[in-house]
Structure 1
Amino acid sequence: MSDVAQAAPEPSSGRVEEDKVLPIVVYALYLLGFTNGLTFLVGLIVAYLNRETAGPINASHYTFAIRTFWLSIWWFIIGLALFLVGLALAVLLIGIPLLIAGGTIMGAIGVFFVVRCIMGLVYLLKGEAYPRPRTWLI
């Protein structure tokens, strides 16, 4: 007989650990997109491809990442349109407020995008689902 006691399996805490690698990759690709622009799309594709098969924690992060992308794109387009109209009308000096508003929106949406990615990473690294993945805010 063996004197080695077999360790009893630890009781599960009811919390299922999901692989965090792909959601981290999505957030990293989003942040890296500010240097080259292409990885925004790669991150979006990865999020779309993995959202349906992911567990509840990762699915909330994929939903959050997808919404972050689309909210940022639409607000950036609005800011860019205001900026371009303001640029065209700046010759007459009546477009300067539109120029400033468009530039402000585009800058603010860049900050918004980065903050949402960092907040997503914080919740992900704590092993938690994002609490409100469909929100317009942080």
Structure 2
Amino acid sequence: MSDLAHTPDRAEEDKLLPIVVYALYLLGFVNGLTFLAGLIVAYVNRSDAGPVNASHYTFAIRTFWMSIGWFLAALALFLVGLALSVVLIGIPLIVLACAIFGAIGLWFAVRTILGLVHLLRGEPYPRPQSWLI
């Protein structure tokens, strides 16, 4: 008999690297640096991934960049609020910016966990281009 019958398919072989990306994203909440490592792993492996893993890499990359965009918008709001807090008008802006920072973290964590759940089921992410969940 041939050993070809016992070789796992490409999605099965490749599942470890998308898990690493999601794990690095989750670990990033603790140290802040592994977000970038996860992004790099996703970019490097996306081109030769099968369709299931490619959807997860696309999803992970979009999750990172959308969170950076929202983070920069919240940071700008925070800085404007900080400048205006001298006359007490900026305090609501600071509070709003802090709420947005919290929402971004929650959104990032939920997307990462949902991606990991779909990956462990062996499914492609259903809507990798979506900006929601």
TM-score, structure 2 normalization: 0.90
Structure with more of its chain in helix, by fraction: 2
Name which of structure 1's ranges 63-72 and 97-106 shifts more when overlaid on structure 2. 97-106
Could you say which structure has the larger radius of gyration? 1
Say how many residue pairs are matched.
128
- Please list every run of at least 4 consecutive aligned residues from structure 1 whose deviation after the TM superposition is greater than 3 angstroms: none
**Structure 2 regions of 5+ residues with no counterpart?**
6-10
SS of the residue corresponding to residue 24 of structure 1 reads helix
Following superposition, the deviation at residue 18 of structure 1 comes to 4.5
Are 1:118 and 2:106 an aligned pair? no
Partner of 1:92: 87
Say whether 1:78 aligns with 2:73. yes
Which of 9, 20, 27 is 1:32 aligned to?
A: 27
C-alpha RMSD of matched pairs (Å): 2.0
Identity score, percent:
73
| Of 39, 46, 50, the match for 2:45 | 50
Larger mean Cα displacement after TM superposition, 43-52 or 17-26: 17-26
Stretches of structure 1 that go unaligned for 5 or more consecutive residues are 1-5, 11-15
Secondary structure of the residue aligned to 1:130 is: coil
Q: TM-score, normalised by structure 1?
A: 0.86
